[in-house]
Amino acid sequence: MPAKILIVDDEPPIIDLLSYNLQRANYQVVIATDGEQAVSQARQEQPDLIILDLMLPLLDGLEVCRILRRERDVPIIMLTARDAEIDRVVGLELGADDYVVKPFSVRELVARVKNILRRTAPPLPDGPPPTIQAGGLILDTRRHEARLDDHLLSLTSLEFDLLHALARHADQVLSREQLLDQVWGYDYHGDLRVVDAVIKRLRHKLRQADPQTELIVTVRGVGYKLLERTPV
């Protein structure tokens, strides 16, 4: 059954453009034109991915993202205006997976949709080893669960995949470009803060599980690496 995409935008030309191209790519499309309708449609239709404009009537996109992220781990791609830098950062910190700046390339947006849906698909039986251990972390790829000692971490699929990439290369520095390629699934030539925002979310959740541990460290000018446990 084709994946279902919820498009949330109040501009008919953008809705028509995205609907046409996503349907051509064999996706089901559901539409919402304001924030309240977006929340309702997301709850009723249970889409596999949401394309969410930030500037919406009734509820803005940031509030919609905040509500939906509390309820369900559904991938969210934000559509933002070119000058809405602070909204992009806040949206990523709230749990969005990615963002695209208007005016955008439809081909690039559809490619990002495909990559995100590929990443969030259930793992194949003959895929990578189901369990990885690094320091006090245990990651189970089949259950999509991560534990720090006895604490089950509440991670989105994107946060899990980023942590998994770091754990596979424990004690190795990975650049932001490498993480984008491994986790998001495409070469990215724009704002690398999508990685920084998810790293920030991961660090917060790891500290909630164990305030005395700093697992993810920044190597200035290079990238990030996951260490064996080191006291703060």
Query: Three-state SS for 167?
Result: helix
Number of domains in the chain: 2
Mean pLDDT of 96-108: 88
Are both 110 and 67 inside the same structural domain? yes
Mean pLDDT of 122-142: 73
Which of 70, 100, 120 terminates a domain? The answer is: 120
Mean pLDDT of 121-145: 74
Mean pLDDT of 145-154: 88
Q: Strand 174-175 vs strand 137-140: parallel, antiparallel, or unpaired?
A: unpaired
Within a domain: residue 19? Answer: yes
| Residue 231 clears pLDDT 70, i.e. is over it | no
Q: What letter does residue 131 receive in the DSSP assignment?
A: E
Phi, psi of 93 (to 5 degrees): -70, -25
pLDDT value of position 90: 83
Are both 114 and 193 inside the same structural domain? no
Q: Could you tell me the pTM of the whole model?
A: 0.78
CATH number at residue 25: 3.40.50.2300
Which of 87, 120, 153 terminates a domain? The answer is: 120
Q: Strand 98-101 vs strand 131-134: parallel, antiparallel, or unpaired?
A: unpaired
Are both 12 and 92 inside the same structural domain? yes
Mean pLDDT of 209-215: 83
Are both 43 and 67 inside the same structural domain? yes
| Residue 188 clears pLDDT 60, i.e. is over it | no
Mean pLDDT of 160-172: 90
Which of 89, 120, 151 terminates a domain? The answer is: 120
Give CA–CA dist 102/49, Å, rounded: 19
| Residue 83 clears pLDDT 70, i.e. is over it | no
Which pLDDT band, with edges at 50, 70 and 90, does 203 fall under? Answer: very high
Torsion angle of the four alpha carbons 1, 107, 17, 51, in this order, in degrees rounded to the nearest 10: 60
Are both 8 and 100 inside the same structural domain? yes
Q: What letter does residue 118 receive in the DSSP assignment?
A: H
Structural domain boundaries, residue 48: 4-120
| Residue 232 clears pLDDT 60, i.e. is over it | no
Phi, psi of 183 (to 5 degrees): -100, -50
Within a domain: residue 99? Answer: yes
Within a domain: residue 144? Answer: yes
Are both 67 and 13 inside the same structural domain? yes
Highest mean pLDDT among 87-91, 123-127, 160-164: 160-164
Mean pLDDT of 202-214: 86
Query: Hunting for tokens 């279902």 — which residue is that?
Result: 4
Within a domain: residue 27? Answer: yes
Are both 40 and 84 inside the same structural domain? yes
Taking only the tens place, the pLDDT of each residue in 1-57 is 889 999 999 999 999 999 999 999 999 999 999 999 999 999 999 999 999 999 999
Within a domain: residue 200? Answer: yes
Are both 80 and 145 inside the same structural domain? no
Are both 101 and 47 inside the same structural domain? yes
CA 146 to centroid of chain Cα atoms: 16
Residue 176, CA atoms < 13 Å, CB-side half-sphere: 17
Within a domain: residue 231? Answer: no
Within a domain: residue 32? Answer: yes
Residue 121, CA atoms < 13 Å, CB-side half-sphere: 14
Report the helix count and the strand count for the chain, using DSSP H and E.
8, 12
CATH number at residue 185: 1.10.10.10
Phi, psi of 226 (to 5 degrees): -105, 125
**Each residue of 79-90: b (16+ CB within 10 Å) or e?**
bbeeebeebbbb
Which pLDDT band, with edges at 50, 70 and 90, does 190 fall under? Answer: low
Burial class (CB in 10 A: 0-12, 13-18, 19+), 136: middle
pLDDT value of position 129: 61
Within a domain: residue 232? Answer: no
* Cβ pair 192, 223 in contact under 8 A: no
